[in-house]
Structure 1
Amino acid sequence: MRPGDEVTVHQLLGRISYFHALFIEPTLAPATAATSGEACCNHRTPAETVRPSVGGLLAHSAWAVLDEVAATLGARAGRCPSHGHACCATCRVAGSAAAVADAWLATEHRAYRRLEPGAPMRQACREAVAARLTRVFVHQHHAPCPAAHVDEKAGAWLLPGADELPLTGELLALWRDPLSGGGSPVVSWLNHCTDLDDIRRVLDTRRLTP
């Protein structure tokens, strides 16, 4: 990674943690049903090559915060059936990112009094966020696995923009290519909000403004 890239990654992960604690967790939309996750690379049968583990790599990096955020999501997280420190670190990042995306998408819809997002939108959002965060994790830690090859192109037109769902839209935009140096698509006015009601009021005002 180039000088400064690691700082950028830490800042973006910190923004996920901060926004989740401030906006999402207090009004988290309940999961519709328990999500049974797939076995990670290190727990598949027959066993594949053992890859860097959660306990060996993830727990000692800034990415541990993503796992901590996903742990607040309960059934929505879709953990490996053998969930533990021996799990593949890259699989855990992909699964945690997908769970965060799904929770943010559903919670924002609910908070802004919108209809529940449909299954195609949820799937597209989960896959896009998982692919984007996992790509950065693999680049930083050289820990490839099949989870790093999720295709995010299918249903890309369903992904929400920051003008529609500010938190989820910004999450998607910030992680699209965060190490390119092409500028940061931060939704700056979010920094002045303290809860989802504040965000909803800003959105309502913007819709009424010609």
Structure 2
Amino acid sequence: MTASDAATTDQETIANQSSEPDSGPLAGDPSLIGVPTFVVGSIALGMTLAGFVPAEAVGAPVAIILAATGIGQLVAALWAAGTGQSAVASIFGIFSGFWLSYGFLVLGLTHDWFGVPAESATATQAVFLTSWLIAVALLAVATLRLPAAYTVLFTLIAVALALVLIATVQDSVQLKAIGGYVVFSFAALGGYLFLHVMSEATGGRGLPLGRPVLGA
């Protein structure tokens, strides 16, 4: 075999390997964990904000948010990072931070973990909501090249955060309830996205997600 024949053989081998689907331990779609755990936490949060539980029962969704949603988002982020899906890992990592920090905020304020005086609780919540509102708004802008469903999802989350921020500062039960119903709207969109990724994972066609706002 000549050197040129050996080089051709090597190139064919590399091409065949690159065309084979990834079947390693991290193969697959991390959205299959990230999206449904996001949905269940959103439903629990929306029900709390909308007044399905008494106002003093602010910790009602924390078990779901910490044990299911926060951990689920973290698992999905690590899975996506392991497969080289940087954008997906970023999204799930961001929301892992949001849900976990929300759970710890509620637990910390209700159990006086952080030494925050009662009269400063509203300002503390405002700091949390403002910080995450800015982060999610940036995420919405950063996803303008993704299918429109994702941009709409993050925009709705930002709107919900803005409403809850205003409701918290003004101590408005009505605005907080409206924020809860906006949470239900992005939970419903999350459910649609879950049906999309599950359809693809089971051999079907994905659902329409809309054209990106910005082209390539």
Kindly indicate which of the two structures has a greater share of residues assigned to helix.
2
TM-score (norm 2): 0.27
TM-score (norm 1): 0.28
